[in-house]
Amino acid sequence: METTRTLDRRTFMAWFGGIGLGSTLLPEVLWASIANGAEITAATIAAAEEVAGLTFDESERAMMVEGLKTQQQRIDALHKFPIANSVAPALVFNPLPPGRQAPSGPRRAMVRGRVALRNVTANLDDLAFLPVTELAELVRRRRVTSTQLTRMYLERLKRFDPVLHCVISLTEDRALAQAKAADTEIARGRYRGALHGIPWGAKDLLAVKGYRTTWGAGPYKEQVINEDATVVQRLDAAGAVLVAKLTLGELAQGDRWFGARTRSPWKVDQGSSGSSAGPASATAAGLVGFSIGSETLGSISSPSTVNGTTGLRPTFGRVPKTGAMALSWSMDKLGPICRSVEDCALVLDAIHGPDGKDASAIAAPFNWDATLAPSRLRVGYVKSAFDLPVTDPKDAKRTLHATKSFDDASLAALRRLNVDLLPVELPDLPYNAMRLILVAEAAAAFDELTRSNRDAELVQQTRNDWANTFRTARFIPAVDYINANRVRAAAIEAWDVLMRKVDVIVTPTSAANLAQLVATNLTGHPAVILPNGFRADGTPVSLTFLGGLFEEAKLLAVANAYQKATGFHLVHPVVPAGATPAVPPPAPAPSS
C-alpha cells in the first residue's frame, strides 16, 4: 500500500471543497492531508492557496516546505501530550478595557426587599413555586424545615422528570444529609443566610464529588470528576442543599442530551432550549428552589426566555469557573436561574469572587440594595430594536420583531416607574464574524474528541451541531483567531464608551437578530433576562436588561423594580404529572 503521495489540486478540492469551510483556511488543510497519507510539497501548498485565498510564487512555496514540515512535527508532538478539559490556555481574557479597573470598596451588608410570610399548609407542593426570598423566611422562622423542602422537591423531581427530562442524576443522599445538617444548625441558632436549607439544582457541567458529571454527552456519560466545583463549594458553605444534577444540551448546545430532549413545563411538546435546559425547566416547574446554569452564547438567555425564568448572566470573571466544563475559556460564564430577580442577587452574593484557581476570575464587590430606585439611574433603551415593525415591510413573511407589543408595553411600564429612558444604539461592529473565537476555543477544548472520532457518539449530528462545528473549526487560521480577538478589543472599547453614558440598557431579547446577545457575550457585560408577557398559547416571552462590567447591583435593581411592577414572574405553569410519586411529601413543621 502506498504510504505517501502528493496531493494534487483536483484531489485536494475533492477532499475539502464540499465541506463548506468558507473563504479562509489554515494550513491545517495541509495537516489533514498528511493524516491521509500525503506529503507536503510545493504543489500541496499551491492547492491550499486557492482555498486559503492567498497567492505565493514558486520560490516562496519551495521556501515554505521545510518550515511547514517542522510545524507539522510540532503539532504532532502537541497531539501526543494529554490535555484535560480543565486546563486553560496561558492567555487569559479580561473584559476591562485598558486603563479601567474593576470597582473596589468594602463589601456591605445586603439590603433585601420586604417579604410577606405566608401560611404553610399540609400540602407542601403549595411552596414549590415560591421564590428563594420567601422560602428563606419560612426556613429561618422554622415554619418549614429544610428536610421537608428537600423531600418535597425530590418527590417533584421524580414525579415530573418523566415528562420534562430535566434530571441527569438525583443527589438524594447528599441532599438529605445537607438538609438534616441545616435543620440542626438553624435549630441551634446558627443561620448562615438566605440560602441556608434551600434546595437547588446544578447544570451537569459542574463537578460534584461522588456523582457523574456527564456534560450531557454520550462519550462522557460515565465520567466522575473527583472534586466539587468552586460554585458547589460556595453554595455548600452558604448552607444550600444540592438535590439534582440537571440536564444540558450535549457539550452545552441546545436541549438534546444523551438521554432525551428536555421539555418546557409551559408546553411539554416544546423543547426547553439550551444549553441550560434542565436548570431552566426545573426552576420553572417548581422542582428546585433555584439552579445554576452557564452561558457562552445564549445558554442562560434562551432557556430563561422559553421557560419564563429569571436568568442572570454575570460579568465575565465575576464567578470562578473552576470545576466547570470548559467550552470557551474567554466566553464561559456561570450564573443563577431563578424565579425572581432578587433570588438571582442572593445567589450571586454567595458565589462571586476569585477562588485562587481560575485565572480569569476578578475581584469586585457586589452590594445588593433592593431599595435602589431605577429613577436614580441612567437607563437607556435600544431605540432601533424597539422601533422595528413586527414584520418586514418588504416581505410580510419575514418576522422582525415578534414580541413588539410586549416590548412596547415594557417601556411603558418603566416610564411609569419614573425612569427617563434614553435612546441608545449598539456599537456597529462585525460581531458575528467574531464567533470564530468561540468556535476555535470550543474545538480546542474538545480536540481529542474530534481526533479520536468519538464525536460520532454525539446525538446531535446536523451541520450546525458541535460534531460538525468542531471539524470545520480545524480550518480556522490561527492568524484570524488572533485578529478576531483584536476586533474584540475594539468592541470592548466601543462598549466602554456606550456604558459611560448609561448605567443599564433595556433591549428586546430577540428582535431581527441577536446582536446584543453576541456582542455582550464577547465583551463580557452582564445581563438579566426575565419574562415580560405570555403569548396566546400561554408560553412566555422575555425582556433583557444589560449592565456595565461588574455593575450587577445596578442592573438587578432596575430589573427588580420592573419585575415587581409587572408580576409576570408570579405566573407558573401547570405541569402534567408523568409518574406516581415515589415518596409522599412529609407533614409541615409546627409554626414558631
Whether cis (ω within 30° of 0) applies to the bond prior to 275 is: yes
The answer to whether 284 and 540 are in contact (CB under 8 A) is no
Phi, psi of 581 (to 5 degrees): -55, 135
Cα distances (Å, whole numbers) of residue 11 to 6, 8, 111, 428:
9, 5, 68, 41
Summarize the confidence of residues 297-308 as an average pLDDT.
Answer: 98
Which pLDDT tens digit goes with each residue over 350-396? Answer: 999 999 999 999 999 999 999 999 999 999 999 999 999 999 999 99
For residue 125, which amino acid is it? D
Per-residue pLDDT, 577:
74
| Cell numbers found for residue 517 | 446577545
pLDDT at residue 580 greater than cutoff 80: no
% of the chain beyond a pLDDT of 70: 90
pLDDT digits (tens, 9 = 90+) for 108-118: 999 999 998 88
CATH architecture of 124-430+479-570: Alpha-Beta Complex (3.90)
- Residue 367 pLDDT: 97
User: Cβ contacts of residue 122 below 8 Å, gap of 6+?
Assistant: 587, 588
The per-residue pLDDT for range 119-143, each reduced to its tens digit, is 899 999 999 999 999 999 999 999 9
Helix/strand/coil percentages in the chain, nearest 5: 40, 15, 45
DSSP class of 542: E
Question: What mean pLDDT do residues 558-575 have?
Answer: 97
| Calpha distance 250→325 (Å, rounded) | 11
Question: By the 8 A CB rule, do 174 and 154 touch?
Answer: no
pLDDT digits (tens, 9 = 90+) for 462-499: 999 999 999 989 888 899 999 999 999 999 999 999 99
The residues pairing with 209 across neighbouring beta strands, listed in sequence order, are: none
Q: State which H helix or E strand residue 310 sits in.
A: strand 310-313
State the first-to-last Cα distance of the chain, in angstroms, to the nearest integer: 84
> Is the distance from CB of 287 to CB of 170 less than 8 angstroms?
no
CB 361 within 8 A of CB 320: yes
Element containing residue 423 per DSSP (H, E): strand 421-424
Burial class (CB in 10 A: 0-12, 13-18, 19+), 501: exposed
Strands 504-508 and 391-392: unpaired
Neighbours of 223 (CB within 10 A): 14
Asked if residue 343 has pLDDT above 50, the reply is yes
> Mean pLDDT over residues 165-176, rounded?
98
Instruction: Classify strands 395-399 and 391-392 as parallel, antiparallel or unpaired.
Output: antiparallel
Transcribe 225-280 into DSSP letters: -SS--HHHHHHHHTT-EEEEEEP-STTTSSSB-SS-B-EETTEEEEE--SSSHHHH
Q: What is the mean pLDDT of residues 337-346?
A: 98
The answer to whether the CB of 293 falls within 8 A of the CB of 311 is: yes
Q: Is the pLDDT of residue 56 over 60?
A: yes
Pure H helices in 388-446: 404-416, 435-445
| Residues in Cβ contact with 575 at an 8 Å cutoff, skipping those fewer than 6 apart | 160, 163, 164, 265, 268, 285, 286
Q: Cβ distance 354 to 363 under 8 Å?
A: yes
Of 178, 137, 172, 133, residue with least CA distance to 156: 172
pLDDT reported for residue 37 = 52
Structure-block grid coordinates of residue 58:
514558486
pLDDT at 576: 82
Residue 365 in grid coordinates: 464587590
Report the alpha-carbon distance of residue 103 to residue 424 in Å, rounded: 24
**Which amino acid is located at 331 in the chain?**
M
**Where are the chain's structural domains?**
1-81, 124-430+479-570
pLDDT digits (tens, 9 = 90+) for 3-42: 333 333 333 333 333 322 333 334 455 545 555 556 889 9
- pLDDT surpasses 80 at 512: no
Q: Is 574's pLDDT higher than 50?
A: yes
pLDDT at 268: 96
pLDDT at 513: 65
Mean model confidence pLDDT for the chain: 91
Contact 451, 407 (CB under 8 A): no
**Cell numbers representing residue 401 in the block:** 420583531
* pLDDT for 570 beyond 70: yes
Least confident segment among 10-14, 189-193, 492-496, 513-517: 10-14
- Note the pLDDT of residue 510: 86
435-445 helix and 478-499 helix, angle to the nearest 10 degrees: 130
Alpha helix ranges (H) inside 81-171? 132-140, 146-164
Over range 43-65, report the average pLDDT: 87
Residue 200 and residue 289 in contact, taking contact as beta carbons nearer than 8 Å: yes
Q: What is the pLDDT of residue 26?
A: 41
Q: Position 79: which residue type?
A: H
Q: How is residue 145 written as a grid cell?
A: 424545615
